[in-house]
Amino acid sequence: MMVLTARTNLAAQGLTSGFGFLERTTGWRISFSLIEYSTSSTYARAILVGLLNSLFLGVLSLPLATLIGISIGVMRTSGNGMAELLGTIYVEIFRNVPIILQLFFWYALLLALPSPRNADPILGSIALTGRGIYIPGLNVSGASVLVAVLILLAGAALHLRGRKTRWARADRGQIRREQRFLWAVASLFTVMCFWLGRLPGTPLLSLPEARGLNFDGGISISPELMACVIAISVYGGAYIAEIIRSGFNAVPKGMSEAGRALGLSGFQVFARIRLPLAIRIVMPTMINQFVWLFKATTIGIAISFTDFFMVISTSINQSGQTLELIGILMAGFLAINYSLAWVLNRVNDAIALRGTQLRM
């Protein structure tokens, strides 16, 4: 009954249900796109641009939030009074301020940077301007970057599989030799991908250079993208820090004492005993946090970053196909977050502790 009523109301407004509108041209611009896009592109391509932009934002933000969270978590459990105080201040500030307010703060800060004409490049190759941040980049095709990423992911998968099977029974020297060989081969193929995929007639490395009223060359990061990356990373890092801290506190003290009794240094006890055990303990909670953080990429609409959510919202306003576009949005986030959780659950299965391994 609800479906029939909706179709009747749409027909009364001159709208037809279905996904035929995806082949129509949009007629509007998108300020940031990883693939070619113009005003004559279709709604389907515009949605793909938004989806890739959200994935790109997640790929940048989640690892950075993890790095910040681990660093702050270590500070919070270091036993050093000053480090613990700084870690506590960080967590209490960035965890208790809404992420949308932090986004506006970082965006305003980035827009207040000097104009390109007045900006002095850092180390001659990094320029911080109000129009964006310019950094060195590679003149390579997108396909070569994708292949290089797949090679590195394959190397990581082989590494995890080797630790669970072949290297579980091998001696330490053999493990090191095979691991070095694996990553040397992966690095070699990655460099070959970049070299073969470089754009004709251009150097492999492109540096930003001041020309006229702007910079040319290198990679330009828009203030909108940069503000989203900083806000999500800083905010998510505060939550991940507390998760990591709980993991360190859950590692029995007897483990560290046993390591010291075997002659390990303080850093070796941390790197080989406390950190691996803490990550294994908190991995299920971290998976939930990563899924939550990726959903936070929708905040980009507040500062006009053209992510998946904003493209769908604009498409709804322009086409009137509300139900179909909301369905695409929900299906997209469901697929992304389910895939993310599935992959991380497989990693968790590979590194999970069995039985009484935590008991001393």
Which amino acid makes up residue 51? L
Closest of 48, 23, 21 to residue 35, by C-alpha = 48
37 in Cβ contact with 30 (< 8 Å): yes
Q: What are phi and psi of 200, to 5 degrees?
A: -60, 140
- 29-33, 104-108, 298-302: range with lowest mean pLDDT: 29-33
Task: Convert the pLDDT of each residue in 44-79 to its tens digit.
Answer: 999 999 999 999 999 999 999 999 999 999 999 888
Which of 19-28, 102-111, 157-166, 266-275 has the highest average model confidence (pLDDT)? 102-111
137 three-class SS: strand
Q: Read off the pLDDT band of 98 (50, 70, 90).
A: very high
- pTM given for the model: 0.81
Residue 341 makes CB contacts below 8 A (sequence gap 6+) with: 287, 290, 291
Dig out the tokens for 354 from the structure: 């069995």
pLDDT over 90 percentage in the chain: 34
Task: Convert the pLDDT of each residue in 172-186 to its tens digit.
Answer: 778 888 888 889 998
Dig out the tokens for 279 from the structure: 């990550």
For residue 38, pLDDT beyond 50: yes
For residue 16, pLDDT beyond 90: no
For residue 141, pLDDT beyond 80: no
Stretch 207-232: mean pLDDT: 85
For residue 18, pLDDT beyond 90: no
Q: What is the residue whose two structure tokens read 């139900």?
A: 323
For residues 335 and 320, give the distance between their C-alpha atoms in angstroms, rounded to a whole number.
Answer: 24
Q: Read off the pLDDT band of 6 (50, 70, 90).
A: low
Q: Is 340 exposed, middle or buried (0-12, 13-18, 19+ CB in 10 A)?
A: middle
The per-residue pLDDT for 220 is 83
Closest of 276, 271, 273, 272 to residue 254, by C-alpha = 273
